């Protein structure tokens, strides 16, 4: 491998003996320096116009290269370098234009996941192509993998294809899921589950295809599986367990993106079912939770969306003993029925649940469609109860505690006075004492 690489390197060094090559490189270097130092764009305030103005120098270089070729002087390398420069500089105005024309398009994501990676690959391949080394570099042997000779070309192609498959498998998967929803009437949650299943299926098929492209045959893959089985026994049991759990959960459909689960008493929305862990968003504080899949597989989980999404919640309130419970219950039920987000069926219901120390306690049970809204609806109802009780003269009693400072050990007179029928509160005593001349 080193010998082959050095052969190419020496050939490239040989090109530096040529005046034509040196002149082209020099022109590009001078143009880059001049472009960096140019200040005339400072007067332009539009970001788009500034980005477009950056295309002028490479554009002029391309024209210069054309002129050189026209007069019979090698100018192709100059044109090539300028073209690559131009293409890279085109990214920014293109992004700005796309953002302006299609505000909903994930331009930055496209830029990072598509434009730039494709350009990097294009730049590398075309650079070696123009030097005449692409084919000879691609057949450099790196070593043997499962009896297959791995070359630079095969490895790079495999990497690019694998990247494209993993990065873009979601697009066809989303299309399939959408078609499933359109034609089969799948609910959004099932669509998302289908999307994930298709996505990983595409990735799995793609990776196997890449393995076959490289030359690794079925026997070798079986050997890999055999090796993995030993590895699973020792080190990667957890990873495989999580992986298998994720597949199982996907097919079972019990944990799907969009599902609402109770995690440690907090409702959380499943955002993404990964191969190792499930990503959830906690409704209380928006924290992202990453929970290994096998937890869902081996432990009980509380779901509000497994079959239906409605959730029942309760508000507990106390009313003074002297109010008639039937009247209080009517008020509570009427309040719940008036709330927009409380479901009419099952109808809200209030119950007397306790004769407490200072109040009769009631529980108002109500259903909401979206479990994540239960907290807010409970808050609304509590406020409404306070207002309605105030309006109807219903008091909400609460225990009161009064504190008296005492001497220790208490004097005999004080003890007798407090225990007597004409005793007064300490405060009164203090007040009287204060008033004494």
Partner 1 sequence: MNAALNRSLFAGLACCLLSGCAGIEGPAVVDIVRTIESSEGITSDDYEQLTDISDLVFRQIRDLDPQIHPQLTLFTSRNFVQHIRQRTESGFGPDLIITDSETALDLYDQKLIDPIQLTEQDRQDTPQSLLDLVTAKDGALVGRPVNQFVQLACFNKSRLAKPPGNLQELAQSSDDATFGMAIQLKDLFWSAEAFNATPAFQAAMDGSSIDETSRARVTSWLHWLVGSSYQQNIRFLNTQRELRQGLIKGELDWITCWSSNLKRLRSKMGDNLGIAALPQGPVQHRKASTRLEVWVLGRNSSQLQRRKALVMLKFITKPWAQKTYALMSASSMPVSQKAAAIVASKIPGGSEALNNYIQNDEQPTGKVRVKARIFRDQMSYDTISDALLDTIYDVRTPKESTEQILQDLKETR
Please report, as ranges, the residues that interact with partner 1 according to CB under 8 A.
Answer: 2-3, 6-7, 9-11, 13-22, 24, 69, 74-77, 79-80, 129-133, 135-136, 139, 141, 149, 151
Measured from the CB atom, the residue of 108 and 141 that comes closer to partner 1 is 141
On whether the CB atoms of residues 96 and 110 are closer than 8 A, the answer is: no
Backbone torsions φ then ψ of 71, nearest 5 degrees:
-90, 5
Q: Please, what is the minimum distance in Å from the beta carbon of residue 34 to partner 1? A: 22
Q: Considering Cα of 418, then 424, then 430, then 436, what sign does the dihedral take?
A: negative
Measured from the CB atom, the residue of 133 and 309 that comes closer to partner 1 is 133
Backbone torsions φ then ψ of 121, nearest 5 degrees:
-60, -45
Q: Please, what is the minimum distance in Å from the beta carbon of residue 10 to partner 1? A: 4
Q: Please, what is the minimum distance in Å from the beta carbon of residue 140 to partner 1? A: 8
Q: Please, what is the minimum distance in Å from the beta carbon of residue 77 to partner 1? A: 4
Q: Please, what is the minimum distance in Å from the beta carbon of residue 59 to partner 1? A: 19
Measured from the CB atom, the residue of 78 and 107 that comes closer to partner 1 is 78
Measured from the CB atom, the residue of 6 and 383 that comes closer to partner 1 is 6
Q: Looking at residue 373, what DSSP letter applies?
A: G
424: its two tokens: 């007064």
On whether the CB atoms of residues 268 and 280 are closer than 8 A, the answer is: yes
Measured from the CB atom, the residue of 54 and 154 that comes closer to partner 1 is 154
419 contact partners, CB below 8 Å, separation of at least 6: none
Question: In the chain, count of helices (H) and strands (E)?
Answer: 18, 10
Measured from the CB atom, the residue of 85 and 362 that comes closer to partner 1 is 85
The answer, yes or no, to whether the previous bond of 346 is cis (omega within 30 of 0) is yes
On whether the CB atoms of residues 286 and 297 are closer than 8 A, the answer is: no
Q: Please, what is the minimum distance in Å from the beta carbon of residue 179 to partner 1? A: 39
Measured from the CB atom, the residue of 133 and 279 that comes closer to partner 1 is 133
Q: Please, what is the minimum distance in Å from the beta carbon of residue 9 to partner 1? A: 7
Radius of gyration of the chain (CA): 38
Q: How far apart are the C-alpha atoms of 11 and 6, rounded to whole Å?
A: 8
On whether the CB atoms of residues 377 and 371 are closer than 8 A, the answer is: no
């Amino acid at each position: 491998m080193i010998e082959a690489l050095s052969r190419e390197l020496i050939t490239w060094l040989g090109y530096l003996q040529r005046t034509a090559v040196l002149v082209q490189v020099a022109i590009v270097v001078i143009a880059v320096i001049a472009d960096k130092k140019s200040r005339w764009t400072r007067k332009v305030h539009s970001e788009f116009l500034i980005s477009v103005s950056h295309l002028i120098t490479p554009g002029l270089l391309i024209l210069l290269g054309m002129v050189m070729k026209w007069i019979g002087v090698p100018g192709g390398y100059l044109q090539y370098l300028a073209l690559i420069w131009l293409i890279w500089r085109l990214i920014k105005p293109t992004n700005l234009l796309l953002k302006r024309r299609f505000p909903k398009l994930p331009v930055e994501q496209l830029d990072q996941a598509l434009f730039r990676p494709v350009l990097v690959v294009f730049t590398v391949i075309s650079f070696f192509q123009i030097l005449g080394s692409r084919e000879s570099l691609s057949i450099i042997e790196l070593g043997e993998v499962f009896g297959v000779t791995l070359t630079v070309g095969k490895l790079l192609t495999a990497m690019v294809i694998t990247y494209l498959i993993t990065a873009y498998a979601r697009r066809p998967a989303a299309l399939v899921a959408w078609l499933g929803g359109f034609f089969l009437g799948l609910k959004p949650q099932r669509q998302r589950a289908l999307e994930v299943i298709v996505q990983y299926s595409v990735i799995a098929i793609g990776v196997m295809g890449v393995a076959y492209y490289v030359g690794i045959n079925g026997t070798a893959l079986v050997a890999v599986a055999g090796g993995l089985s030993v590895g699973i026994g020792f080190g990667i049991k957890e990873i495989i367990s999580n992986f298998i759990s994720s597949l199982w959960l996907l097919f079972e459909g019990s944990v799907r993106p969009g599902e609402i689960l109770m995690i440690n008493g907090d409702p959380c929305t499943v955002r993404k079912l990964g191969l190792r862990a499930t990503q959830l968003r906690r409704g209380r504080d928006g924290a992202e939770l990453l929970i290994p899949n096998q937890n869902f597989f081996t432990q009980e989980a509380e779901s509000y969306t497994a079959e239906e999404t409605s959730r029942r919640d309760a508000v507990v309130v106390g009313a003074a003993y002297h109010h008639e419970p039937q009247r209080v219950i009517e008020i509570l039920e009427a309040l719940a029925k008036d709330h927009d987000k409380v479901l009419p069926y099952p109808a809200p219901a209030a119950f007397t649940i306790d004769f407490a120390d200072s109040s009769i306690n009631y529980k108002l049970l109500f259903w909401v469609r979206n479990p994540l809204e239960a907290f807010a609806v409970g808050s609304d109802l509590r406020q409404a109860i306070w207002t309605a009780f105030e309006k109807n003269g219903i008091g909400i009693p609460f225990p009161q505690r009064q504190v008296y400072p005492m001497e220790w050990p208490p004097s005999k007179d004080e003890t007798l006075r407090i225990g007597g029928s004409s005793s007064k509160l300490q405060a009164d005593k203090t007040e009287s004492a204060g008033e004494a001349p």
